Amino acid sequence: MIALAFWLFATLTVASAVMVISARNTVHSVLFLIFCFFNAAGLFVLLGAEFLAMILVVVYVGAVAVLFLFVVMMLDIDFTELRQGFLRYLPVGIVVGVVLCVEIVFVFKTWILNPDMATVAAAVTPPLDQISNTQALGSLIYTHYVYAFQASGLILLVAMIGAIMLTHRARVGVRKQTISTQVARKREDAVTVVKVPTGEGI
């Protein structure tokens, strides 16, 4: 059953990944990308990493890809036009690809694994039969990897500052709704009841 599920998810992941780069319509590409994430989440579940699987769906599918889709839908990019230089650059691309492939072959041919690898990797992981996957992840992130975790937070802070600094413009002459003043307004400040004598006016 597990094997069947694995092959299903794995095939769909690869197939949709291929479709991402080969679909003509960019919106279709993004939809395939989402499908790909989804299947990757399935693979995570099979690995027993259920927390990661759900977070992948929540963050990547539920938020990041939505914004992606947003941008792709709003921009009117003609991708056939972008592909026009494709043939011209194909030889260069092939050369680079072949060089990388050859390198990888060389690397794997002489691959020697560090004999202590298993002990090194297992040293920090809490025993999985005692606590759940989520708890294990949390206790590692907040103790062993707390430095890396906090540093990543700082990087995201910088990204946020940057996004605001480079795009936010304080526009002048805009009348903004200030709800607090609206709520704080009293009848006495706004309306006065005047007794108007008949036939005289004010």
Partner 1 sequence: MANLLNNYLLPLIIIVLEILAIVVPLLVAVAYLTYFERKVLAAAQLRKGPNVVGPFGLLQPLADGLKLMMKETVIPSGANRVVFIAAPILTFTLSLIAWAVIPIQAGVVLADINVGILYLFAISSLGVYGIIMAGWSSNSKYAFLGALRSAAQMVSYEVSMGFVIVTVLLCAGSLNLSAIVNSQAGSYGLLNWYWLPLLPMFVVFFISVLAETNRSPFDLPEGESELVAGFFVEYSAMTFALFFLGEYGNMILMSAMTSILFLGGWLSPLPFAPFTWIPGFVWLFAKIAFVLFCFLWVRATFPRFRYDQLMRLGWKVFLPLSLGWLVLTAGVLTAIRTWSGTGG
Partner 2 sequence: MPLLLPDFTPALPEIFLACAAMALLMLGVFQGEKSAKEVSWLSVAALVIAGALVASRGMERRTGLEDMFIVDGFSMFMKLFVIAGASIALIAAIRFNAREKTERFEFPILILLATTGMMMMISANDLISLYLGLELQSLSLYILTSYNRDDVRSTEAGLKYFVLGAVSSGMLLYGSSMVYGFAGTTSFTSLAEIFGSTDSGSIGIIIGIVFISAGLAFKVSAVPFHMWTPDVYEGAPSQVTSFLSVAPKIAAMALFTRILYDPFGHLVGEWRQIIATISLLSMAVGALGAISQRNFKRLMAYISIGHMGYALAAFAAGTEDGVRGVLIYMAMYVFMVGGTFAIILCMRRDGKAVERIDDLAGLARTQPALAVALAIFMFSMAGIPPLAGFWSKFYVFYAAINANLYTLAILGMVISVVGAFYYIRIVKIMFFDEPAGAFDTPLGAELAGVIFVTALATVLFGIFPSPIISGAEAAAASFFAG
Give the binding site for partner 1 (CB under 8 A): 1, 25, 27-28, 31, 34, 50-51, 53-55, 57-58, 61-63, 66-67, 69-70, 73-74, 132-134, 177, 179
Whose tokens are 């605001």? That residue is 164
Q: What is the DSSP letter of 92?
A: H
132: its two tokens = 């759940």
161 lines the binding site for partner 2 (CB under 8 A): yes
Q: Which is nearer to partner 1, 48 or 93 (by Cβ)? A: 48
Stretch of residues binding partner 2 (CB under 8 A), selected from 76-84, 143-151, 184-192, 193-201: 143-151
Q: What is the DSSP letter of 123?
A: T
How far is Cα 196 from Cα 198, in angstroms, rounded to an integer? 6
Q: What is the DSSP letter of 85?
A: G
Stretch of residues binding partner 2 (CB under 8 A), selected from 72-80, 88-96, 100-108, 186-194: 100-108
Distances (CA, A) of 168 to 24, 156, 157, 161, 163: 34, 17, 16, 10, 8
Q: Report the interface residues with partner 2, using CB under 8 A.
A: 103, 106-114, 116-118, 120-121, 126, 130-131, 139, 142-148, 151-152, 154-155, 157-159, 161-162, 164-167
